Amino acid sequence: MAETPHTVLAVDVYNDKIKHLLDLPAPGTEAGQEARRHPWHGRIQFHRLNIKHDSRLEGLIKMSNLTINLAAICTPADYNTRLLDTIYSNFIDALPVVRYCSENNKRLIHFSTCEVYGKTIGSFLPKDHPLRTVHTTTL
């Protein structure tokens, strides 16, 4: 954003994690001091909505060239304890985004997580099974 003229239409149910990027006085601005502006001043629009059920979503996607979907539960501790919530959040609840991008011929980058949901096959093997042994080679 600092090096390109791109604009961002940001969508989320909260903006607490990106407040520092929005058009607010830059960090370190004191009272009475002229506000320093971020290099991307005026190029981030935040829209508070839930992608699961908000009629504004399609209009925002139509306005964009590229949609990057980052909506996901991405806390490893939740993957095994909230399996269905994770699948819904990271896949099923994102289907409107996928559908609107497809119907409007828009590019989509969909992030989910860097983890595998649920238990791996190794967790079902007996503790003494050779496939559960980690082999290391010293160079």
Listing DSSP states for 54-118 in one string gives -THHHHHHHH-SEEEE------HHHHHHSHHHHHHHHTGGGHHHHHHHHHTT-EEEE---SS--S
pLDDT for residue 63: 93
- Walking along the chain (139 residues) 10 residues at a time, the average pLDDT comes out as 87 86 63 67 88 92 91 77 84 92 94 63 72 55
Q: 52-138 maps to which CATH number?
A: 3.40.50.720
Neighbours of 41 (CB within 10 A): 12
pLDDT for residue 139: 44
Identity at 5, one-letter amino acid code: P
Structure tokens at 118: 């649920």
pLDDT for residue 101: 94
SS3 10: strand
pLDDT for residue 138: 47
Pairing assessment for the beta strands 66-69 and 107-110 based on DSSP bridges: parallel
Structure tokens at 92: 């099923």
pTM for the model stands at 0.67
Domain ranges of the chain: 1-48, 52-138
pLDDT for residue 87: 83
